[in-house]
Amino acid sequence: MIAADTRSHALRRFAGAGRFVTALVALAAAGGCSRASRTCGPRPDHSVVACYNGEPVTADEVAAFVRAPRRVPGRAAPSDPRADALDEALRVRLLADEARRRGLEATAGSPAFVRASLYQALRRDLAARHRATARDVSDDEARAYYERHPGLFNKITATYCLALYESDPARAEQLVERLRGAGEQAFREAGGVAIGETHAEGIDPAIRRLSNDLRHVGDVDGPVRLASGTYAILYATRLDMNVKPFEQVAAQVKNHIAHEREQNLIAEQAAALRAKASIEVFADELRAAPIPAAPEP
């Protein structure tokens, strides 16, 4: 059984949900893909952006998954919406094919609708097989989880932080990686200074938004670009919140744990399937494809 105490594990695994595609794009741009299909390839109208096991992945298919750029924890730049969308389209294909292999039933409809229904069927199958449903979470397990992570389930009324500032984005990313889990003293020694409550007057809006993602004392997050052009990294030193009795949030906690488990199962399944699949991304086609721009966040 997958341990429940894996906050953000699945999010981290897919927090860079475009990294897989980004790596393939880099290989394609360098001529590094060696498994190109003879029956699938670029077209003059840029309508094919990738090949998946010899089948074309079209711009229209990818467009359905386009979302606003995401802030990626530990990264100075937001995600690439097109790479994210292609990554999700490929993930759905991988998991839908696995659902077919397992003999799971699909809902009739368009190819995209069928794939989506198979994807959902596999999610349910994985959750049932691996006891990753809310009813599989005991009261004791949920209570212990809640005591470790109260900030996930209660309204945080004030967030106090240290901030570390860095002008170079690459250096800022390295600092985040080094300081996560290192403790307050290490953060101060790296140059962190107290900035008080992050929603006070005069605080950069980017810091306010970033601090909203801090849910535990000791959390490190960033970097985020400020209005001045400098990058900030935050360390949570104090979180004020109205803590509810466990009984009021028990169902919410169990659902959260079950969702974490399910997401981890899906991530592991997708990674295993990707390792066996033949996938080629056409970098130029992805950039030139008639895919609508992502909405503003």
Is the pTM of the predicted complex or chain greater than 0.85? no
Structure tokens, 221: 């997050």
- Within a domain: residue 122? yes
d(CA 270, CA 77): 25
In terms of residue numbers, what domain contains 235? 155-241
Question: What averages of pLDDT result for each successive group of 10 residues across the chain (297 residues)?
Answer: 40 41 43 51 92 95 91 93 95 97 94 94 95 96 98 98 98 98 97 97 96 97 97 98 97 98 96 96 89 64
Whether residue 205 is preceded by a cis peptide bond, meaning omega within 30 degrees of 0, is no
Residue 63: inside a domain: yes
CA distance 170 to 223: 10
Cα–Cα nearest to 154, from 11, 259, 256: 256
Q: Is residue 295 part of a domain?
A: no
Beta strands in the chain (DSSP E): 48-52, 55-58, 156-166, 193-197, 220-225, 231-241, 279-281
> Is residue 237 domain-shared with residue 261, that is, in the same domain?
no
61 and 187 inside one domain: no
The CATH number covering residue 188 comes to 3.10.50
Is there a domain that residue 93 lies in? yes
Domain shared by 51 and 91, yes or no? yes
What pLDDT sits at residue 171? Answer: 98
Q: In sequence order, what DSSP letters do the residues of 244-287 get, joined into one string?
A: PPHHHHHHHHHHHHHHHHHHHHHHHHHHHHHHHS-EEE-HHHHH
Q: What is residue 245's predicted lDDT score, i.e. its pLDDT?
A: 98
Q: Give Cα separations from 43 to 22, 47, 173, 204 (angstroms).
A: 21, 6, 38, 46
